[in-house]
Amino acid sequence: GDSVTQMEGPVTLSEEAFLTINCTYTATGYPSLFWYVQYPGEGLQLLLKATKADDKGSNKGFEATYRKETTSFHLEKGSVQVSDSAVYFCALSDQGTGNQFYFGTGTSLTVIP
C-alpha cells in the first residue's frame, strides 16, 4: 500500500542554517506529493506541492523536488529563521487510492537565534 517515510526529529538548527528534511514514499500509482506545516497551536497549512516527476514545489524559501527515480521529496531551505519553527509533514495523495492522503510522522523543527 501507499506510505510515506519521513526523517525523524526533532531537529534543532541555528538561525540561517541549511535545512533538509528527508521524505521518501511508496505508491501504487502516480501520486501528488505535498509538504504541510503545522505551527504551534494551529492546523495544517499547505507549504508546497508537486504533482508529477521532476516538478519542483517552492514557497517561502522552501523547496522540494519530486524525484521518481529515488521516490523522494526532500524538503530544503537555504537559510532558516526562528519563525520556521514548526512541525513539517510530508504527504502523498494517490488517485489510485481515491485521493486519500498518507502522511509521514512529522518532523519537529526548532530554530534558535
Partner 1 sequence: GAVVSQHPSRVICKSGTSVKIECRSLDFQATTMFWYRQFPKQSLMLMATSNEGSKATYEQGVEKDKFLINHASLTLSTLTVTSAHPEDSSFYICSARNSYGYTFGSGTRLTVV
- Choices 16-24, 62-70, 71-79, 93-101; region in contact with partner 1 by CB under 8 A: 93-101
Contact residue for partner 1 among 12, 14, 81, 105 (CB under 8 A): 105
Between 22 and 103, whose beta carbon lies closer to partner 1? 103
Judge whether 85 and 108 are in contact, CB under 8 Å: no
Residues 6+ apart with CB under 8 A from 29: 94, 95, 96, 97
Nearest residue (CB) to partner 1, 45 versus 79: 45
Stretch that binds partner 1, among 16-24, 53-61, 71-79, 104-112 (CB under 8 A): 104-112
**Binding positions for partner 1, rule: CB under 8 A:** 32, 36, 42-46, 49, 89, 93, 99-101, 103-106, 108
